[in-house]
Structures are given as C-alpha cells and as structure tokens.
C-alpha cells in the first residue's frame, strides 16, 4: 500500500485582506492536488499571516485577535477537503474554548466532520505571552496518520502513543523562529522515525513579518523515513530549500516500512519492549564523591 503525501513550507506573505490569506492557502492545496497528493500537511500557525491586518496590535494580543478567524479557517479546511478529496492536516490555528485559547490542528477528511488535535504542551512563549491553554490527548486519524504540533513532537511519549495506536505517519506542523528551535523539532522528528520505525512529515512555517511576534522564522519542510534499509541513508525522502516556500511530495510505501520493521539491520519497533531498563546499583550523593580534594594542588601536564 502507498500513500501520496505532500508537505508545505508556507512562507508568510503580508496579507492585505483575509482573501489574500485564503488565496495563499488555496494555491498550496491546488499545487498538491495537481500532483495527485492524497494527504497535505501545512505548518503550525499559518494564521500569523493575517497579523498585518492589525499592524498596530500589541504582540501579546495576537492570539486573541487571530482566534476570531477560527470558524472561517475550520470551515475552509472542511470545504476544501471535501471538494479536493484530500486529507488536509491543517497545521494549526488559535481557537477560543471554554478553557481559554488553544493552539489547535483541524484535520479535514473528505465526507467526515473535522477532527481536532490540540497542542498538548504550549511553549513558554505561548503560555506567558499569549496565555495559551494546554490541550489533552491525541486524535485518532484515518489512514494511519497522527499529529503532534511542533513542541509536542519533542516528547518521545507522544510519538510512542501514536505508534502504539497504529500510526505509521506522524505529521508535525511547526513554527520555529531560529536555528536552535528548528533543530530541536527536526532532530525530534528524526528520532521519532528511528524509535518507532515510522514516517514523519515535518511541515515548517517560513518567512517573517519583521516585528513581534514573527520577527523571523527558520526552517525547512521534510518527509522523513526510518534510518534503515531500504530507505535512503540520510533518511530524508524529500526536503524544501531552507527558509523558502515550497512543496514536497512523495509516495510513502507501507510495504517497505513493514519490511524494514521485520527484517531491517535493526528492528527498533519489534525490540521496543524487550529487556528491562530498570536502574541497578546504589545511588550516589555529591558529598560521597571526592573526585578532587580541594585542598590538594592538581597539575595537569
């Protein structure tokens, strides 16, 4: 079985109106549809493109301002998924809930009501600047898909929970504003692919507004395989150029994935519960360890 997956690197265009933002979204969907994609993954918080409509807005008010577009974004994802016949993993947007504003991924599945997957662990910036509330749990999606929004991908427990539920494609919509942030997410995506022997689709927001909360971004979009035969040695099946808008598309071959899980040079998935990881031996307190006697003079030659 194969699944044709597309992933977008979405470059922020200062929107002159909400029609420009939805037009940008349409262009990305249309390009994926023209290539026969069955699934499209777009980045986290692409709605930040709408902030220039309120240029004088204080950065800390951005989430509350953008939450007003939640219904329109969700309705659009639902309609475009139904009309295109594609699953749209809609990155994420801000949504007002009874608990407060959350960072939410809406997934459009043709002929099915929208499926929502909250970001479980907001970053410090999200919590402190925007008062974003934590979500709870991970959504079950069709076609062996799962979602962890950006920072959530950095927690092995999240990826393992998805894999144990049958997920073979972990989708990671992200927005990272510098190299370290991008590396944390990308390295985590590579680790999840190794640990669980699954495909991981990392979709990055790029571009900038030039002022807070998006003075800059950093990243690229990639479709990743486990680092094992018969997949490429570098494990990246497709990738967009760094910090540029683009679309990558590839056919994910689940038969090859199952073969790798069963017969690869390493079988991380089969071996996941083998052995014991209990700690042995005594615990050592710092005052028990006198590596250097502070009264002694130590010469290093």
Q: What percent of the chain has pLDDT over 70?
A: 94
For residue 49, give its domain range: 2-273
Residue 285, domain member (yes or no): no
pLDDT classification of 278: cutoffs 50, 70, 90 = confident
Task: Output the DSSP codes for 5-73.
Answer: EEEEEEEP---SSHHHHHHHHHHHHHHHHHTT-SEEE--TTGGGGGGGGGTT--GGGHHHHHGGGHHHH
Distances (CA, A) of 158 to 70, 75, 125, 162, 186: 25, 28, 21, 6, 15
Residue 104, domain member (yes or no): yes
Distance CA 251, CA 5 (A): 6
Residue 287, domain member (yes or no): no
Give alpha helix (H) positions in the chain: 18-34, 62-66, 70-84, 124-130, 156-164, 179-196, 254-263
Q: Rounded to two decimals, what is the model's pTM?
A: 0.93
Q: What is the total count of domains within the chain?
A: 1
Residue 262, domain member (yes or no): yes
Residue 238, domain member (yes or no): yes
pLDDT digits (tens, 9 = 90+) for 159-186: 999 999 999 999 999 999 999 999 999 9
pLDDT digits (tens, 9 = 90+) for 132-151: 999 999 999 999 999 999 99
State how far Cα 112 lies from the chain centre.
23
Residue 278, domain member (yes or no): no
Residue 65, domain member (yes or no): yes
pLDDT at 295: 54
Average pLDDT across the chain, whole number: 94
At 48, list the tokens: 């930040």
CATH number of the domain that 152 lies in? Answer: 3.60.110.10
pLDDT digits (tens, 9 = 90+) for 9-61: 999 987 778 999 999 999 999 999 999 999 999 999 999 999 999 989 999 99
Residue 181, domain member (yes or no): yes
pLDDT at 45: 98
């Amino acid at each position: 079985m194969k699944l044709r997956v597309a992933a977008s690197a979405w470059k922020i265009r200062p929107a002159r109106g909400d029609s420009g933002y939805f037009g940008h979204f349409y262009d990305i969907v249309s390009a994926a549809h023209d290539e026969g994609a069955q699934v499209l993954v777009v980045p986290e918080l692409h709605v930040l493109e709408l902030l220039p409509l309120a240029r004088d807005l204080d950065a800390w008010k951005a989430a509350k301002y953008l939450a007003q577009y939640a219904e329109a974004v969700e309705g659009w994802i639902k309609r475009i998924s139904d009309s295109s016949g594609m699953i749209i993993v809609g990155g994420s947007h801000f949504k007002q809930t009874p608990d407060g504003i959350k960072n939410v991924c809406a997934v459009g599945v043709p002929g099915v009501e929208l499926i929502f997957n909250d970001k479980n662990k907001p970053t410090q910036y999200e919590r402190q600047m925007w008062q974003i509330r934590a979500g709870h749990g991970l959504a079950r999606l069709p076609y062996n898909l799962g979602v962890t929004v950006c920072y959530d991908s950095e927690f092995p427990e999240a990826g393992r929970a998805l894999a144990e539920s049958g997920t073979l494609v972990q989708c990671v919509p992200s927005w990272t504003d510098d190299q370290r942030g991008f590396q944390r997410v990308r390295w985590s995506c590579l680790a999840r692919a190794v640990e669980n022997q699954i495909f991981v689709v990392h979709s990055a927001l790029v571009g900038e507004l030039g002022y807070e909360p998006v003075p800059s971004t950093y990243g690229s979009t990639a479709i990743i395989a486990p680092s094992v035969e018969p997949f490429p040695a570098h494990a990246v099946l497709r990738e967009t150029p760094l910090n540029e808008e683009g679309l990558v598309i590839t056919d994910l071959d689940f038969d090859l994935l199952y073969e790798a899980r069963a017969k690869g040079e390493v079988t991380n998935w089969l071996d996941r519960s083998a052995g014991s990881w209990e700690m042995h031996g005594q615990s050592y307190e710092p005052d028990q360890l006198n590596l250097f006697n502070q009264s002694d003079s130590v010469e290093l030659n």
